[in-house]
Structure 1
């Protein structure tokens, strides 16, 4: 499978399964404030708050949040609270190489 197709597949998975509740639960597990997540993910505080309130955000913004939290060893599955992934450092591709990276909210 070509790298771009693989990246696209992983991105679609994350976009469809990383939920607002996952984001809030992950922050709680890590003891992070919205401001701390904002600093690490480069996503604005209002965008994180909007996402956690189930409001709309851009796909690249959701990927940036998931990437940041997965880099801490968390994994996300639909219908379950985030868990520790052991040796897994996450599968979400770093959004920095995306054409729409500059659009992170």
Structure 2
């Protein structure tokens, strides 16, 4: 199991790499509406709309969205559109184990 420091580092990387533009682009790639992403990720429609409008959301909400897209095989790098990766599942740590997971918006 990864150390707590490593887990925090991976979360910070995921938070930096996954942008509001990535969220909208990834939805388009998968053919998902905001409502479908909401159902798939367990994140409210309002939080997704806020995030895509470049407004504040909780880190755990952002990680939850990134994790859901990565489970579909998408990867995210700053400055580039999302891409399909080979064996990328798990790049963003599963947010379920976070102490603040119950706060997902």
Give the alignment's TM-score, normalised by structure 2: 0.95
**2:17 corresponds to 1:13:** no
TM-score, normalised on structure 1? 0.95
Q: CA RMSD of the aligned region, Å?
A: 1.3
Q: How does 1:1-105 map to 2 (within 5 A)?
A: 2-105=2-105
Q: Secondary structure at the match of 1:72?
A: coil
Aligned length: 105
Shift, 1:93, TM fit: 0.7
SS in 2 for 1:86: coil
Q: Deviations over 1:11-49 (max 9, x none)?
A: 001111210000000000000011111111111000000
Shift of 1:2: 4.6
| Misfit runs of 4+, over 3 Å | none
Question: Cα offset for 1:61?
Answer: 0.3
- Show structure 1 runs of 5+ residues with no match: none
Q: Which runs of 5+ in 2 are unaligned?
A: none
Q: In the aligned structure 2, how far is the partner of 1:77 from the partner of 1:48?
A: 20
